[in-house]
Structures are given as C-alpha cells and as structure tokens.
Chain A
Amino acid sequence: MKSRSLAAYILAVVFPVLILLSMSFLPVMTYFYGEEILLETTPLDPRDLFRGDYLNLRLAINEVPISLFPEKLRYWATFEEYQDKNLYAILKKEEDYYIIDKISFTRPKDQLYLKAKVDLFQPLNQENYQTVEVNYQLDRYFIPENTGEKIEDLAREGKLIVAVKIWRGYPLISDVFNK
C-alpha cells in the first residue's frame, strides 16, 4: 500500500465516476436537445404492473402491424439474411399523438425515429402474425415511493399519456400524465 502511487489511486477512484457520467450522456443530451412527442398507452395486464417504485408502461406503438415492416422480412428467401439487422421505427404525427409510419432498415435523415428491438423467428406473413411486439426500451417509469395507486389505475385502463423526448433515436421519458 505504501508504494502505491497517488496518481494510480486517483485514476482508480475516478473511473467509476466516469462510468456514471458516461451512462448519463445520452439521456442528458436527449433532455436538452431532444424533440418532445406524446404517445398513447394501451391497457396492461395488471399482474406485474407495479413492482416496487416504478410503473410498467405499454405503449400503443409497441404493437406494430406486419404491413409496416420491410418486405424483405416477409419471405423465407430473404428473412434469414435480414432478421438480425437493426430496425428503425419511423414516427408520424396523427392528431395529438405520434404513431408508427413504418419500420425501416435504414436510419432516416430528417424524420423522428426510435431504435426498435424485435425478436423474429419466422417470416412476417399473415399465417404467422397479425401484429408484432416491438420494444423501444420505453417500458418503465419511476415514481416516488407509495404514490403509485392512482397512476397505477390509469395505466391499467390505458388512460395515460407518455411524453417522450427523442434525440438521434434515443428516447427519454420526460413525463407521464392523465389523458
């Protein structure tokens, strides 16, 4: 311990702080530079709705009709080659809320989009699917301890609106409120 140089010690102590800061980079950038949109929620199975101090959310855009997916995912011939490719959900505004315009393999230049995560096992045709569950990493909203009952009821009935800021495809939930 005596021979340990102070510099190495400082570096080792600061290292975790750097990790904390780097974890915050994307959300903070999104907080300052992101564009805010509103998303509707849908009713949710109440069983594991409220665990501890956060709320599970289910958004209307989580369920996407297969017609909005790229053609290459519809047939076996091209499915296997494309099934693991990155997907981007391009958004469009309809009245007050945003919905999915289409799902694309390419990152759009001047439209709002979210990175979409989908587990696909077979081609997206009518026999296999009607809609596909898409994950945008927007399923959890933390609330203060013991304040969840009212908001829990609203979430169960799908009456909540989620305000989300988006920056370069990265989403940050900024607020959750009653319709």
Chain B
Amino acid sequence: MKRERISSASYNLIMKQLARHQKEGRISQEQMLDMLRTYEVIEGINFIKVLVTLGAILVGLGVLSVIASNWIYIGKLLKFLIIVGGYLVVNFFSYYSREKYPKTSRAFFYLGILIYGAGIFLVGQMFNFSSFYTSAFLLWAIGIFPLTILVKDKWALGFLHILLLIYLNEMYFNGETAVVVFFIMPLLYLSQLKIRSGLNFFMSSVVTLNFLWIVMDNILGFAGDLLLFIYFLIGLGLFVIKPPDFQEVIHLLGNIIFTFSGFLLTFDFIWQQPKLINVPINIIFSLSYVLILLFFIQRQNLLALIFLGLTIFRFYFDVMYDFMNKSIFFLVGGLILLGFGYFFERKRSILRRGEIEK
C-alpha cells in the first residue's frame, strides 16, 4: 500500500477528526487505525535542526572568509594544519554524537564539508594557483561524496550537485567540456539506492541535461537555435513519458524545459535560419507552441498557462507598441493581464477541486 505523505499539522487534524468519529461510534477503533496507517508524516522543519545547521553554516562561512582574507599573521603551514585539524575534529564530534544528538551530529557533518571547501581554496591561495584553477569545485564535490553517501544526507548530496553544476559551467565559459562529469553522472543516479530523494533525482537530471548541452555545443558544434529546439523536444518528451519511478519529478523538469525553451524560440533573433517558405520561422514555431500550450492548458497545466500569457504579452508588446496610442496600449495590455489573472485563478481552483475529488 502506498502511503500518502502529509504534513504533521494535517496529520494531527485528521487524527483528531477520526478520533471524534470513533468516539461517536461511526467507525471502529480498528478502522480508525487502519485509516491513519494510510498516511505518512513528512518530517517538517525542526527548530533545533534549523538552529544547529544555521550555526554550522555560519561557522563554515567564517572559516571560508578567514581563508579568503589571507591573514598574514598566521603562517601558511599553520593555516593548513588548522584547517585539516578542524576538519578532523568536527567529523570526530559528528561521529560520536550521532546517536545521542543526531541533529547536532548532522550540523558538524555540514561544518566539515565547508571546512574542507575552505581547505581547497587555502591550498589554491598558498601556492598561487592560476585563474584557470577551475577544478576547485570538482575536488570539493568528489571529496564529500563518500561521506555523504555513508551518512545518507540528501541535503549534502544536493549541495554536491550544485558544486558540480558550478564546475561544469565554469569550464564551459572557459570553452572546455568537463568530461570527468560524464563519469560521475552514473554515480549520482546510483546514489538513489542509498539516499532516495526526488530533489536529488531532479538535480542529477539537471546535471545530465547541462552536460548534454555542453557536449552538443562544444563538441558537436550545434547552433543555438538547434540546441534550444532539441531541448524543447526533450522537455516535451520528459513531460509526456510515463516512467515507472519519479514520474512527478520528471514531468516537472520536462514542463519547465519545454515551456521555457519554447518561449525563447518565439523570438526571431534566436533563429539563425530566419525564414521557412517565406514565413518567419519564429512565427511558425510560435503558432505550434501556442497550440501545444493550449493542449496542455486544457489538461490543467499551470506552467503552460503562465507561458501562454507571457507569449501573448510579448507579441503584443513587440507588434503593437509602435503603432498604438500609448494610453490605449496600456489599457489593452492591462486588460490582457487582468483576463489572464482571472483565467489563471479559475484554472487553479478547478485544479484544486479536482485534487480534492480525487
């Protein structure tokens, strides 16, 4: 049986209600417990957790900024030893407090990650590594990978993804392809076996798509319009497939990609091949894009509705601004927005009602 995940506040409300029904004799205790078993409480934001994590992050940032200021009063070697020593000490504390104080233990683990990052930048500074020293973020990500998997921390794994994205794009802006990420990607997906998390599956997919983009641009030499069009198709594909797992995450990713890349493709300056059979290609694309959006709006897709609004508004601005009297222009523009606001609200309430009925 798949249990529905709800917040602890909702769970408490349902529990109270069911207890009342049971007390008043509408359901038996067994039925009540049976119903409650169909819910799973999502672990919400915990005050202590927020406090210790914030503390760890602040201390970590403090360490990073001490390193960045390149303080002359401590020698280089001493600084290095302080960093390594500090890193080992916080991990020691993290290990020994893991059962008694799990939240504090986790905070120490985060602190260790930040101190290690500071260490990487310290080494770069000690030896005057050149500006082409892009591997810092890669080394940071690789270094924290084993421990993150071992302690099964999904936030640290999310942070690791961000580090990889920074590295990937830093290399990209230097005109290089970060091939090593290709070998790390399978590990990112494999980590789902240890740390199952939709957030990280989403991030891994972003890394994959980012890498694919760079390969198509740097190695295959695809033009910008072709790349965007390919991503539009990929997005559509991800949005309509029915994968056995992580369906919601994949649909969300596809939804974002196809609406956004499609919107960019409605602009004529994006296209290097401006005309197709004498009609501007962006117009042909825009028409098909609007039809696709309408199709998904009819299936209650909110993002499609937002982008339909954006597309209509952008064409309105593009075409009408030069021709119309300013006051009429703003008037009509305002009416369009109001209309969309109304339509948007109505769709959302329909969507909500649908969910309740389900």
Interface residues of A (CB under 8 A from B): 1-2, 4, 6, 8-9, 11-13, 15-17, 19-20, 23-24, 27, 52-54, 56, 117, 135, 137-145, 172-173
Q: A24-B123, A139-B131 are in contact. Are A19 and B143 (CB under 8 A)?
A: yes
Contact of B120 among A4, A23, A138 (CB under 8 A): A23
Does A56 lie within 8 Å of B119, measured CB to CB? no
Does B150 lie within 8 Å of A53, measured CB to CB? no
What chain A residues lie within 8 Å of B131 (beta carbons)? Answer: 56, 139-140
Interfacial residues of chain B within 229-273, with CB under 8 A of chain A in the complex: none
Could you list 21 A-B pairs, sorted by A, with CB under 8 Å? A1-B98, A1-B99, A6-B95, A12-B147, A12-B150, A17-B87, A19-B142, A20-B84, A24-B80, A24-B126, A27-B127, A53-B68, A56-B131, A135-B130, A137-B129, A140-B128, A140-B130, A141-B128, A144-B71, A145-B69, A145-B70
What chain A residues lie within 8 Å of B83 (beta carbons)? Answer: 20
Q: In the bound complex, what is the Cα–Cα distance between A137 and B135 (angstroms)?
A: 13
Q: In the bound complex, what is the Cα–Cα distance between A16 and B91 (angstroms)?
A: 12
What chain A residues lie within 8 Å of B120 (beta carbons)? Answer: 19-20, 23
What chain A residues lie within 8 Å of B139 (beta carbons)? Answer: 19, 23
Does A143 lie within 8 Å of B130, measured CB to CB? no
Q: In the bound complex, what is the Cα–Cα distance between A27 and B122 (angstroms)?
A: 13
Q: What does DSSP make chain B's interface, helix, strand, loop or mixed?
A: helix
Q: Which of B120, B143, B144 is packed against the most chain A CB atoms within 10 Å?
A: B143
Does B88 lie within 8 Å of A13, measured CB to CB? yes
Tell me the number of A-to-B contacts counted with CB atoms below 8 Å.
Answer: 93
Q: A18 to nearest B CB, angstroms? A: 9
Q: A57 to nearest B CB, angstroms? A: 9
What chain B residues lie within 8 Å of A135 (beta carbons)? Answer: 130, 132
Q: A23-B120, A144-B72 are in contact. Are A9 and B127 (CB under 8 A)?
A: no
Q: In the bound complex, what is the Cα–Cα distance between A23 and B128 (angstroms)?
A: 12
Give B315-326 as 1s and 0s: 1 = Cβ < 8 Å from A's Cβ atoms.
000000000000
What chain A residues lie within 8 Å of B84 (beta carbons)? Answer: 17, 20
Q: A27-B126, A137-B130 are in contact. Are A12 and B146 (CB under 8 A)?
A: yes
Give B97-141 as 1s and 0s: 1 = Cβ < 8 Å from A's Cβ atoms.
011000000000000100010011001011111111100000100
What chain B residues lie within 8 Å of A56 (beta carbons)? Answer: 131
Question: Is the C-beta of B151 less than 8 angstroms from some C-beta in chain A?
Answer: yes
Does B125 lie within 8 Å of A142, measured CB to CB? yes
Contact of A23 among B69, B123, B132, B150 (CB under 8 A): B123
Contact of A16 among B68, B71, B116 (CB under 8 A): B116
Q: In the bound complex, what is the Cα–Cα distance between A116 and B120 (angstroms)?
A: 24
Does B119 lie within 8 Å of A20, measured CB to CB? yes
